Amino acid sequence: MPELPEVEFARGVLRRAIAGRTIVRVRVLHPSLAARLPAAARRRLTGRTVRAVERRGKYQLVSLDDGRTMVVHFRMSGDWSVGRAGERDEPYARAVFDLDDGSRVSLIDPRALATLALVDDVARALPPLGPEPGDRAFTPQALAASLRRRRGAIKPALLDQRVVAGLGNIYAVEALWVARIDPRVPACRLGPARLARLVVAARAVLAAAGRERWKVYDREGEPCARCGHAVRRIVQAGRSTYFCSHCQRR
DNA sequence: ATAGGCCTGGAC
DNA sequence: GTCCAGGCCTAT
């Protein structure tokens, strides 16, 4: 589930469940999370009241009344589940936060790749992130500046969170299809017109998330919805790329 | 720039 | 069994 629209939705779920609440108990149910959120951190979380739940890129930021922040990243398969304290733990529950109103929030994560960390300084804890796709700062000019020296293909560049914060594999693939750009084009070779199309396309595919099925993602061999040419799958930087080699131009 | 690792489950 | 998975980090 987790690309930007899904993370934003999850942030809302978490905010409604936890903002203003006090954490009365923390349990970690998977060893890989226990390493990231050791006993001392779990102790410090207990008794804290949640001030706000924000988001930067795909990071969810849970700010606490002691000034610290719990930083959450879903990676491949994380999600929140809201329930009542004392109920049986859901399948794949990896961390459980009991709250002072008798509710609880669980991190559900089949692949157990999600991360939780308690940090003093959020700005220092997060890696460098580019503009949010919905930001005014995400302009063709800004894209041009960050891609100017990148001779590698545009598609892997779009997955670099320093270029734009929140695009993942599916939406990078979809945005390039909408913008009619070949994913193999060197990033630095895109001119203003195509960068402008890419900005618009990235916003559009994120805005349409959930309402429409993917146009090319996971459609290898199917006809392109625009021109009927067969959709191709290639691997770039270890990730699947789907595209139409007829109407997505080099 | 690319491969491998982290984890587990699902599709074949 | 094998391969694949919406992310990201580290090492080469």
Residue A115's SS3 state is: strand
Can you give the pLDDT at residue A1? 55
- CA closest to C1' of B2 belongs to A237
Tell me the C-alpha distance between A134 and A2, whole Å: 17
pTM of the model: 0.95
Q: What is the mean pLDDT of residues A118-143?
A: 93
Tell me the sheet residues that pair with A108.
A79, A93
Q: Which active-site residues of A does the annotation give?
A: 2-3, 58, 239
DSSP E strands in chain A: the ranges are 23-28, 50-56, 59-64, 69-73, 79-84, 93-99, 103-108, 115-119, 232-236, 239-243
Q: CB less than 7 Å from strand B: which protein residues?
A: A 30-32, 92, 110-113, 150-153, 156, 236-238
Q: Which nucleotides of C are covered by protein (CB under 7 A)?
A: 4-9
Average pLDDT over residues A140-151: 93
Q: Is the pLDDT of residue A175 over 60?
A: yes
Find which nucleotide's C1' atom is closest to A31's CA.
B7
Please give residues of chain A from 62 to 81 whose alpha-adjacent beta carbon (CB) lies under 7 Å from any atom of strand C: 73, 75-76
Residue A31, token pair as written in the block: 């060893």
Please state the rounded mean pLDDT for residues A121-128: 92
Instruction: Flag whether pLDDT at A211 surpasses 90.
Output: no
Is residue A56 over pLDDT 60?
A: yes
Average pLDDT, integer, range A3-24? 95
